């Protein structure tokens, strides 16, 4: 039974690539999907961290 | 002290011999060029050799026109450093079609001002998005200790050239571990300085948030000598620090008295093969370190480093992915494409988390001066190996070889990778991590371990 919470990564790749004007040749597509799926797995420890609202990124830009 | 014309000679050996008149810089360069010619068919470390330039420079040194702490020392640089008159390949075919550099990168100039002699550009993983040292365009760099195995990357040629004894000193870059990983796999000392400590001007970028440059060598003294020669503010790199130069050579042999040294536990004590933890235990034992500390949320730090890398690196290369996708290394292309498709909220959260993690880790350095951690989860995999078994789990090599290095470079801490090697085994390194701008302490520890015979680097 499909997991309704699991994103459709193939569609994500196709639509995301279209949105940024990146043509992904058919022979590259499967591996791009694998890499997005891998990123989705690796990012989980970060997504599970809760951050305070006042925690802004460290700036490196110096006007 | 080794024969300054032999492959075992360190940069310090050569500099002392040249300064004392025991050997000519020209003879040192000739010997290095001969070693390179002999070793290249096996190790494939170099993509460019600048023999004419090196010979001319050596003649200037022998004529007394250039003096300095590294006078007569041959060195080479990862080919993402600009070398005047050559395209800056950055491991790619695409950049090799681009314009030739009009002048040397900042660190090449600084080493040459100290008397060192550039002999060439070194192989690397394409656009530095690599932990293996493999390259579809130029062939893999091969580990001199076993040419069927990886050097590690992305500064693979830098690791191979120094481990093979072609040159005593090489420069690499380290965004997520690309100095520390080849140092570990090739049995070298490697220094990833504090973020912003050394100028990155005149080098091809990968991930601005994490890009560092630094040396690989066969002794702690060579790291210190070269690091000191390269320090100093550079207005051409916006993140380069304007702190005063802090020389590391004068205190290098001060020993470890007064340094509080701990072992990184939890995240850094799992997810690797036993050999990496044995290496940490060996080093910790020699240092008398028994305390274990926990870097909080290291898994999230690794995840954040991964996301920032994928997204910054992907975005940097988007124009080329649109126009010349067929000219990328297949092992790089689809990862860079994927990086362009990740949600922006991940990136922003990763940057916000970076601030929290930095604060938490810096608090630990109120209590300790040095933290020890594995450099790589295992010793060198075989060339072409895609998956590896770590702690019983099958994982992709490319995505996971930086498990222990990424949470450290994520917040820019200085690290010296020190080599260990058991008889009959391949080398494996340990990270000696210090607080920001604490290179002096990390190098003192490395020099101590070297003097004790615990961490020794010998050319293959």
ipTM of this predicted complex? Answer: 0.93
Residues 6+ apart with CB under 8 A from A61: none
Burial label, B258 (beta-carbon count in 10 A; 0-12, 13-18, 19+): exposed
Question: Sign (positive/negative) of CA torsion A22, A25, A26, A27?
Answer: negative
d(CA B21, CA B300): 54
Q: Are B415 and B192 spatial neighbours (Cβ–Cβ below 8 Å)?
A: yes
Task: Read off the pLDDT of each residue in B315-336 and give the average, rounded to a whole number.
Answer: 97
pLDDT of residue A53: 94
Q: pLDDT value at position B242?
A: 94
How much is the pLDDT for B236? Answer: 97
Q: Other CB atoms closer than 10 Å to residue B373's CB: what's the count? A: 24
Taking all residues of chain B, what is their mean pLDDT, rounded to a whole number?
97
Can you give the pLDDT of all 63 residues of chain A as single tens digits?
557 788 999 999 999 999 999 999 999 999 999 999 999 999 999 999 999 999 988 766 555
Of B341, B348, B351, the CB nearest to A13: B341
Minimum-distance CB partner of A55 among B238, B307, B352: B352
- What is the least distance, in Å, from the CA of A32 to any CA of chain B? 5
Name every residue whose Cβ is closer than 8 Å to that of residue B257 and which is 6 or more positions away in sequence. none
- Min Cα distance A28 → chain B (Å) is 7
pLDDT in tens, B181-231: 999 999 999 999 999 999 999 999 999 999 999 999 999 999 999 999 999
Chain A residue numbers with beta carbons less than 8 Å from the beta carbon of B358 are 58
What proportion of chain B, given as a percentage, has pLDDT over 70?
100
Confidence of residue B399 (pLDDT cuts 50, 70, 90): confident
Chain B residue at shortest CA distance from A23? B322
**B85-140: per-residue pLDDT in tens?**
999 999 999 999 999 999 999 999 999 999 999 999 999 999 999 999 999 999 99
Task: Say what the pTM is.
Answer: 0.97
| Contact (CB<8Å) A42/B399 | yes
Stretch B391-400: mean pLDDT, rounded?
86
When mean pLDDT is compared across A13-17, A54-58, B295-299, B346-350, the lowest value belongs to A54-58
Task: Please give the residue that has the higher pLDDT: either A63 or B364.
Answer: B364
Whether B49 has a pLDDT exceeding 70, the answer reads: yes
Which of B337, B351, B411 would best serve as a mutation to test chain A binding (most A beta carbons within 10 A)?
A: B337
- Asked about B219 being catalytic, the answer comes back as no
Burial of B285 (0-12, 13-18, 19+ CB in 10 A): exposed
**Which residue out of A16, A49, A63 would a mutagenesis test of the B interface target, given it has the greatest number of B Cβ atoms within 10 Å?**
A49
Instruction: Answer whether A41 touches B (CB < 8 Å).
Output: no
For the packed helices B274-287 and B439-451, what is the interaxial angle rounded to 10 degrees? 90
Task: Give yes or no: B173 in active site.
Answer: no
User: Residue A61 has what pLDDT?
Assistant: 57
- Rounded distance, CA B286 to CA B264, Å? 16
Model confidence pLDDT, tens digit, residues B244-284 = 999 999 999 999 999 999 999 999 999 999 999 999 999 99
Q: Test B300 with A46 for CB contact under 8 angstroms.
A: yes
Helices then strands (H, E): number in chain A? 3, 0
B205 contacts B213 by C-beta, under 8 angstroms: no
Which sign, positive or negative, has the C-alpha torsion B183, B184, B186, B187?
A: positive
Average pLDDT on B26-45 reads 98
User: Quick check: B66 pLDDT over 60?
Assistant: yes
Cα separation, B10 vs B168, whole angstroms: 5
The average pLDDT across B24-39 equals 98
């Amino acid at each position: 039974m499909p997991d309704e919470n699991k994103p459709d990564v193939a569609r994500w790749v196709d639509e995301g690539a279209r949105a940024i004007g990146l043509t992904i040749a058919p022979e590259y597509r499967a591996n791009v999907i694998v890499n997005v799926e891998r990123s989705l797995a690796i990012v989980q420890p970060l997504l599970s961290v809760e951050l305070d609202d006042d925690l802004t990124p460290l700036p490196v830009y110096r006007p | 002290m080794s024969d300054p014309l032999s492959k075992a000679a360190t940069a310090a050996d050569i500099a002392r011999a040249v300064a004392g008149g025991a050997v000519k810089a020209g003879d040192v360069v000739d010997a290095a060029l001969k070693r390179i010619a002999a070793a290249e068919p096996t190790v494939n470390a170099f993509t460019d050799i600048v023999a004419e330039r090196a010979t001319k420079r050596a003649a200037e040194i022998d004529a007394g026109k250039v003096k300095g702490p590294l006078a007569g020392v041959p060195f080479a640089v990862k080919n993402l450093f600009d070398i005047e008159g050559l395209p800056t390949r950055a491991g790619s075919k695409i950049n090799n079609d681009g314009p030739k550099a009009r002048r040397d990168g900042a660190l090449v100039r600084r080493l040459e001002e100290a008397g060192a002699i550039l002999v060439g550009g070194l192989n690397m993983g394409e656009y530095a998005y690599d932990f293996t040292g493999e390259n579809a365009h130029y062939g893999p760099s091969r580990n001199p200790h076993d040419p069927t195995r990886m050097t590690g990357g992305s500064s693979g040629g830098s690791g191979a050239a120094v481990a093979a004894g072609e040159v005593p000193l090489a420069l690499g870059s380290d965004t997520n571990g690309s100095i520390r990983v080849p140092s570990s796999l090739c049995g070298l000392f490697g220094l990833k300085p504090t973020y912003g400590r050394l100028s990155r001007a005149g080098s091809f970028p990968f991930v601005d948030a994490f890009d560092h440059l630094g040396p690989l060598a066969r002794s702690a003294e060579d790291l210190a000598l070269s690091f000191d020669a390269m320090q100093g503010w550079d207005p051409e790199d916006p993140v380069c620090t304007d702190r005063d130069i802090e020389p590391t050579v004068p205190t290098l042999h001060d020993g470890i008295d007064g340094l509080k040294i701990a072992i990184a536990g939890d995240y850094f004590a799992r997810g690797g093969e036993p050999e990496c933890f044995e290496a940490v235990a060996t080093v910790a034992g020699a240092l008398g370190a028994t305390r274990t500390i926990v870097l909080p949320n290291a898994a999230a730090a690794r995840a954040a480093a991964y996301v920032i890398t994928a997204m910054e690196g992907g975005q940097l290369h988007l124009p080329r992915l649109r126009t010349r996708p067929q000219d990328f290394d297949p092992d790089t292309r689809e990862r860079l494409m994927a990086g362009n498709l990740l949600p922006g909220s991940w990136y922003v959260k990763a940057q916000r988390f970076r601030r929290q993690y930095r604060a938490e880790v810096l608090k630990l350095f109120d209590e300790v001066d040095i933290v020890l951690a594995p450099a790589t989860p295992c010793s060198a995999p075989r060339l072409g190996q895609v998956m590896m078994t770590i702690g019983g789990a099958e994982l992709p090599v490319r995505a996971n070889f930086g498990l222990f290095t990424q949470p450290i470079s994520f917040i820019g801490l200085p690290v010296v990778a020190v080599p260990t090697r058991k008889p009959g085994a391949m080398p494996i390194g340990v990270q000696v991590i210090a607080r920001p701008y604490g290179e002096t302490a990390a190098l003192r520890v490395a020099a101590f371990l070297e003097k004790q015979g615990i961490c020794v680097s010998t050319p293959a």
